Amino acid sequence: MHKFLFAMLSVSVTALTLSISGCGGSSNDGGGSTGGVSMGVAKSPDAASSAVANAAAGTSGSGGAGSAHDSADGTSAVNRVAEAAAVIGPASSTGFADTIVGTVTPTGTVETDLHATTHVTVTFTTNDGGTATKFSLATAASSLPAGWTVTSSSAPCAQVNTGTSCTVTLNYAPTLQAPSGRVTLNYNYTDNIGRLEIGHVYIPYTPVSHNAYVVATWQMERCGVASSGDIPACSPAPAPPEFVDAVTFHNGLVYFTGGSSVWICGLAPTGITTCSQFTGALTAPQGIAFSASYAYISDSTGPVSRCSVGSNGTLSNCSTMIIPGSDNAKGLAVYGSTLLVASYSNNQIIECTLDASGNATDCAPAAVSGVNEPLDFALVGSTLYVDNQQVVNSVLQCTFGSNGRISSCTDAGVHNLYSASGITFIGNDAYIASPYDYLIDRCSVAGNGKLSNCVSATSATDTFNSLPPPTGVIFF
- Per-residue pLDDT tens over the stretch 358-389: 999 999 999 999 999 998 999 998 999 999 88
Q: Which residue has the higher pLDDT, 268 or 275?
A: 275
What's the pLDDT at 433?
Answer: 86
Whether domain 100-208 has CATH 2.60.40.10: the reply is yes
CATH number of the 211-475 domain: 2.120.10.30
pLDDT tier at 171, thresholds 50, 70, 90: very high
Closest C-alpha to 339, from 320, 356, 358, 313: 358
Main-chain phi, psi angles of 357, to 5 degrees = -95, 5
What's the pLDDT at 294?
Answer: 97
What's the pLDDT at 178?
Answer: 64
Residues 11, 15, 16, CA angle at the centre, nearest 5°?
A: 140
Q: Within 10 A of 90 (CB to CB), how many other CB atoms are there?
A: 10
pLDDT tier at 66, thresholds 50, 70, 90: very low
The residues near 232 (Cβ < 8 Å, ≥ 6 apart) are 223, 224, 226, 458, 459, 460
Domain(s) labelled CATH 2.120.10.30 in the chain stretch across 211-475
With 70 as the cut, is the pLDDT of residue 18 above it? no
With 50 as the cut, is the pLDDT of residue 8 above it? no
What's the pLDDT at 92?
Answer: 22
With 90 as the cut, is the pLDDT of residue 266 above it? no
Q: pTM score, two decimals?
A: 0.63
| Residues 279-332: tens digit of each pLDDT | 887 888 999 999 999 999 998 877 899 999 999 999 999 999 999 999 999 999
Domain(s) labelled CATH 2.60.40.10 in the chain stretch across 100-208
What's the pLDDT at 392?
Answer: 64
